[in-house]
Each structure stands twice: as C-alpha cells, then as structure tokens.
Chain A
Amino acid sequence: MAKTKVLLSGNEAIAQGAIQAGCTFYAGYPITPQNELIAYMAKYLPASGAVKGQAARVFIQAESELAAINMVYGASAAGARAMTSSSSPGISLKQEGISYLAGSQLPAVIVNIMRGGPGLGNIAPAQSDYFQATRGGGHGDYHVIVLAPASAQEAYDLTQSGFDLADKYRTPVMILGDGVLGQMMEPVKLSSRKIKTPPVKSWALCGCAGRKPNIAKSFFLREGALEEFNLKLQKNYQIIQQKEQRFEGLFLSDAKVILVAYGTMARIAKSAISQLRNAGKQVGLIRPISLWPFPERAFQIKNNRVKYLVLELSYGQMLQDVRLAVNGRQQVEFLGRSGGGILSQEQIIDKVKKIL
C-alpha cells in the first residue's frame, strides 16, 4: 500500500515541491542545515520535465549568496519561476536582493531553513529569524509572504503554493523552516498531476519585438514617483492580509489555554496537548501557517478568560504579533528557548499547569 508515498527530508520535499510547481531557475550556495535542498535541485532540476513556455530548467551553484539572489532577480525579471535557498546567515546576505525584488515587484521563492544565531551561530534548529522574515528583512517599506510548514508533506505543498502566491501578487515569498524540518524525513505523498504551465507574465523582460519594452527596476527618482509606487505596494499588502491568512486550529471551542506555535515547535506542542488532553486538561492550539500575513483572524476568540501561551525556538518574536492580534483582550504568556535548545513536551506541560 501507500505506493505514491516517498520518504523525503523537509529539504528534499521543498525541492521536489518546487520542481512540481514548475520552477525553472534555481541558484544557491551551500550551508547547513539546508544542503539537501541544493543537492536535490542539482541532481533533479535540470533533468526534470519541461515546463511549457520555458526553454529549460536551470540549476546554478552560485559563487556566493549575493550572487544567487541577484541571479534569481534576473531570472524572475525574464519570466522564470525562480528560487533560492539558504540558512540564517546566508539569508542575511540575501536581504539586499530581497528588498530589490520587492521594490521591482518581482516574484521569487526564497527558502530559509533557520539555524541558531546571531552571527555565524551554530547549525542547530532555531526560529530566531522570525522578525527578519515577517518585517521584510531588508530596507524599505515592504513585506514578503512567509509560509511556515510543520511537516515534510506541508513543505512540499506550501512550496507549490508559494510559487503561485509569488506570481499572483508579484512579490517574493519565503518558506520559513528550521533545522529539524529540513533534516527530518517523513513520508510525502507526491502529486500525480502534470506540471502546470506558469501564468503568462506580460510584465516580463523576454524580448520586446512588436511591443513597448518592459522595465524591471526599484529606482524612482521623479518627484512623487516612489510614494506613488509605495502606495501601490501597500494596497497589494492589504489585499494579501485580507485574503491569505492561514492557520490550523485545534480544540479552540473549549480550550482554556491556547498554545500558539509554528513549524517544528507546533509539533512538539501537539504532543504536549495530546498528553494534557488525556489528563483532562482543556488545552488547544493555534498554529500560524502564514507568518506574514499573520493570521490575526485566529485570535478572534470571545471568551476573555482564555489564556494564550506562545511557544518559540526564539525569545519572544512571534509573541509580539500575538499580542497585537489579542490586543489586550486576554492574557498572553510566553515560553521559549533558542541557540540550539529545543523546548520539550515536558517543559510545555509544566508551564501549562502553572497557567491553568
């Protein structure tokens, strides 16, 4: 049975998801813990099935992270479904390019498999790039859509959604995972659908014979031009905030304490919840899947005696978004570890018992 399932690491699942989504250009530079992703793309992307309307599927190991993100800029401007991936320190290096992508309204998928920081940090799993991911990351008034898978299957699925969202809103999309998600292998059900044809991009720079040239730029010197452009971006962000909030809710109807966690942290929270539920404790879960837009809708819970417990592999980053969403209506508690420490089921249970 289960013939269509394959055992893939989160890194490989993201890569396979990108191939299935019709990614035609990947550039990256190695870094642990996302190396399986770049290795998988090197092996499989160029040889995978053709994408309609695209000449080839191209893999490049770039000479640096900066080169990779700027190659993605060029490929995206030319109409490719373009992608890069890295881990925390490498993502910091890419921020200039991400800001330029946002400023030029170019779609791209950027994967960050987070490791410990700040600085070169270590290679252990962490979630401490939440601020960087959800606040834009580079300079200027912009956001990227941030999707946070919690399993290899979801990594495969969300990467495909990521390409669609990037094209739909002409914005960079980030897939944000951590070292556990990247390294862990799980069964993944692969799609048997044909690779779809990417949407026609009338704005792409792909030869302008017979039409007006298109321009990809993020430079607006004429008086008033940048403000006009920024307002256009903001309008786009408002639509994204209205339409693209995603979350998973568990036991929200009767929960007295609601755990809030994403990615790997949410899996550990689920283990804690099942143990607490067995002991008769009314505990629930909100798992944000889109980190930007943050799923504020999930927090419209009327009972003001409900308490939230935010769990992170960082020190109170998503906590700020939860507080903004709750807006003082209910109590918000926090528990977090970072720098390689993984919050255990037992630590969560102890904290919940204190709050209940």
Chain B
Amino acid sequence: MEPLVLFILVVVVALGFDFTNGFHDTANAMATSIATGALKPKVAVTLSAILNLVGAFLSVEVALTVTNAVVKIQDSSGAPDPALLTDGGSGLLLIVLAGLAGGIVWNLLTWLLGLPSSSSHALFGGLIGATIAGLGFAGVNWAGDGSKLDGVLGKVILPGLMSPVVAGVVAAIGTWLVFRIIGRLLGPATERGFRIGQIGSASLVSLAHGTNDAQKTMGVITLALIAAGFWNDTESVPLWVKLACALAISLGTYLGGWRIIRTVGKGLVEISTPQGMAAEASSAAVILASSHLGFALSTTHVATGSILGSGVGRPGATVRWRVAARMLIAWCITLPAAALVGALMWGIGHLIGGMAGGIAVVLVLLAFAVFMFWRSRRSAVGAHNVNDKWDDTPARPQPANV
C-alpha cells in the first residue's frame, strides 16, 4: 500500500514538474517572436506547444538514466539501486518525490519573479538535495570517475557556465553580420523575410526543447515504476508515461509563462526582427551542436545568452545589464536553492514517515503553489500586456493597465 501511494504521488508531482517545465521554457523559443510581433502571443504559444508535443513523441530513446547525471540511486542500466528497494521502494520514491517538489517550488518562485532559470537545474538541484538528506553526500555523483564529462560538475556546472557565453558570442557575431549585410535596407523591404526566418528558427528551438525536456520526466516516472515494482523493462518507457509527459509539457507551454516571456523578450534587449532571427538561430545551433556532441546543457541558458548576444552585436542597441545581472544571480542559486527545498521536503516526508510523509510533502508543495499563484495575481502578466513598454525602475513585471 505504502509504495503504491508514494508511487502515485511521484507520478502526479512529476507531471506537475513537467507542466512547470513547459511554461517556464516557453520564453526560450518564443519570447523574441512575441516581442518583435512576428507572431501574435497566442499563436506563438500554440505553435510552441504543438512542436513540444511532436518533439516529445520524437524521442523514443529511453532516458531512464537521467538521474545518474547527478545522484547515485540507479545503476548504469537504469535499474534502481537495490539497497534503496528493501522497503518496497519507499526510500527511493521519497527521494524522487522530494526532489521533484524542490524543483517545482524553485520553478514557481522564479516564474513569480519573471526570471528565466533553468528547469533542468531546478530538477537536478531538487534531486541532489533530497539525496544528500536521504543518503548523505556520498549519494551524489559530484564529478563521475573523471573519464568523461559526468556528475554535477561535468553535466551541470561546467556546461551551465559555458553555454550562455557560447550562445551569446555566436548570436553577437550573427547579429553583427546580419546588420552589416542588410545595411540601410533594414526596414519594410526586408522585414517580412526576417520574420519568416525568425519563426522558422524559433520553431526549431521548440522542437529541440520537446525532444530533450519531456524525456527527463519520462525517465523519472519510469524509474518510479520500476522502484514500485510495476515495470521491469529498462529498455523502454510505457506508452501512457510518454503520452502523459508529452501532454503535460505541451499544456504547460500552451499556458505560456508570460512573466518570463516578458523579461526575456522585452526586459533584456529591445529586440528587432533580424536580431530575433540571429538569436534563435544561435540557440538552435548551440542546442543541436551540443546534443550532437553529447554535451548536456540548459535550453534556458542558451536562449537567454543568445538574446543578450543579439543586443551586444547590434551597434547602438541597449542591453539592460541590471536585468541580466538579476537573471545571472538566479542561475547561480537555482541548483543550491532547489537542493535546499528538496532536502527540506525529504526531511518533512521522513519525519512523518511512510504514506503520511509522502502526502505531507505534496500538501506543503500545494500550499506553496497556491500561495505563489495567488501572489502572481497582484501583477498579472498575460498575452494582453506581455509586450508593454519595459519600465526599468522596479525591475519586475508591471501591473496590468486594465
């Protein structure tokens, strides 16, 4: 009974995380197209949602070993660590549940502040915290065995430092070249062409996002299935898991994280269509090149780095470095903050114990979520005001002028 209830809670919370992952990352692909008016806000999020859905189904490869990047609760085939299954899987399920809850809390808080932080860092952070609390520091895969890029250092921290810089450099070069080539022709005669280019490149980013991010949740749910004894195949993911994850991320994307879209599209750089195209092309190229070369990185870091780069590359463009600095701080603390919440959640669950512990974790999570949603209503950002003029004085989204 206990593992079954915990398992159900893990599935629900995992899908909840996938949903926040969706709306948190809509901005990565679509913020520039919305800001330049290449796409109407609702059209942009719909397009992105469809491409995320398609992307999630395109990834048939098993992402079962997703947690192996940062923690040691599975072996290399994806099977759960037998030492954690002695109590019918409850020990492992509680770690995963607390980790997911930590990721969600951080995703919601950064959404409330309109900050584009990495959903993968939030998930990994939550799992790391819950694992440290449950198994101690030795349970964390800090740097792998050194033979390849692995562990918290190789798969999270180093790529996190490098990817926004690379994306920014590429976007700056691209933007500079585009403006050099177009010269004084910038304007009505070239606008339509760049709009098409911008929409095309943004669509590629959405598709790549769906293939990468939905897989992570599929892996986590399948791990929980195996731990609870409902599944024993480490080579495939059950169809219902794939379906549920694809729908969750796509629904989240459709909802649109308007607060974050606003920051990314309007807050960082006053962006024009050619800049938007250069930024999205840079994001798509960096994401595809690194996944091709087996290099893990966060779509969010790449996308925001690209947009900053497109501001640097256009002579005379304004980059709001204050907004960028806030964002940078959020990136640096995402992992430890989500870890702290994950550890606290594990503590709550462990203290109360068993089934009631798992339920308590979910109730605390729900309370947080409801509070943050209620708080967000005070200064609602939606499709109607996402493109309003950015006011620099208070560095957060402005109340709706309705």
Q: Are chains A and B native binding partners rather than an unrelated pairing?
A: no
